Chains A and B, each alone.
Chain A
């Protein structure tokens, strides 16, 4: 005879065996009186537990059954608190990334404009020259001196061909 089923009998009593395991166990049980007797004890205990739990769990009290308004009152603030989680969907991430990239690029362009890098100085000065009276005595072509110039980068393509710099106006005392 095969060896006794041991803990498999508990699994059998609690219906945790696969169909194949169950068939094997039943094959053994047919031939083994000891295991049958032990299984009887396991099944008796199992049946006591199975009969107790559903009955001992209480019926739902009215406070719970009628508790929806209290829960509904708690929901809006939680929805608000949970808002960042909802916004972490791929669409929101993409929009967020695009907006921050645009912001960084704008700042970079403005900084570059401020220090006079990234564009040929001639274009800068030409734009500047086209917007500023050529008679300015303090004008220096290498580096714009007013804050107005960076804004001009938004209209980077000159509307007219660069004019020669007004060299004649740069005479210093």
Chain B
């Protein structure tokens, strides 16, 4: 069953459909929120807020304007920004990231350890970017979104996204040199 069918059922008050929609998208929303906030608890709270907001205003979603995924990510970005504004967050929180992702790799332990150190290094550099630059970069590689999609989610023209990615790239270059 695709999103539009589920949404139609949700609009008729079908709580099972709402639960299915949540199960389908909660992971993506959580990971995006984590990419922006870099803190598990905040990402969990934002995920919950995003779904409470989205499901209670599902009637305002217009499929002719955007995909459901775009609409949901727009809400996620907005809620994550609010969260960032409301509280100071530690810049980097390494160590809680997916163990399964790395332990499944079939490489020698030394190589794995180097790879992990490299990722931590890049991840730490990403954490030092301003939220707006980080959003553009995370959105690009969190789900391979296209730039027009990123523009739609962030509410910016393509040129602005391009400029943010360039700035992010230059800052990362300085940080990782």
Q: Does chain A have a CB within 8 A of B59? A: yes
In the bound complex, do residue B173 and residue A14 qualify as a contact, i.e. CB atoms below 8 Å apart?
no
A54's closest neighbor in chain B, by CB?
B141
Q: Does chain B have a CB within 8 A of A50? A: yes
Given contacts A45-B172, A78-B56, contact A52 B123 (CB under 8 A): yes
Q: Quick one: CB contact mask for A54-73 with B, threshold 8 Å, 1 for yes?
A: 11111111011101101110
In the bound complex, do residue B48 and residue A56 qualify as a contact, i.e. CB atoms below 8 Å apart?
no
Q: Does chain B have a CB within 8 A of A48? A: yes
Contacts of B170 in A (CB 8 A): 10
In the bound complex, do residue A57 and residue B19 qualify as a contact, i.e. CB atoms below 8 Å apart?
no
Q: Quick one: CB contact mask for B51-70 with A, threshold 8 Å, 1 for yes?
A: 11101110110000000000
B170's closest neighbor in chain A, by CB?
A10
Contacts of B165 in A (CB 8 A): 10-11, 14, 16
Q: Does chain B have a CB within 8 A of A74? A: yes
The bracket for how many chain A residues form the interface is 35 or more
In the bound complex, do residue B55 and residue A67 qualify as a contact, i.e. CB atoms below 8 Å apart?
no
How far is it, in angstroms, between the C-alpha of A55 and the C-alpha of B142 when the chains are bound? 9
Given contacts A52-B123, A52-B126, A65-B27, contact A82 B40 (CB under 8 A): no
In the bound complex, do residue A53 and residue B52 qualify as a contact, i.e. CB atoms below 8 Å apart?
no
In the bound complex, do residue B22 and residue A71 qualify as a contact, i.e. CB atoms below 8 Å apart?
yes
Q: Nearest 6 A-B pairs (CB), nearest first? A: A53-B141, A78-B56, A52-B122, A60-B27, A57-B31, A56-B123
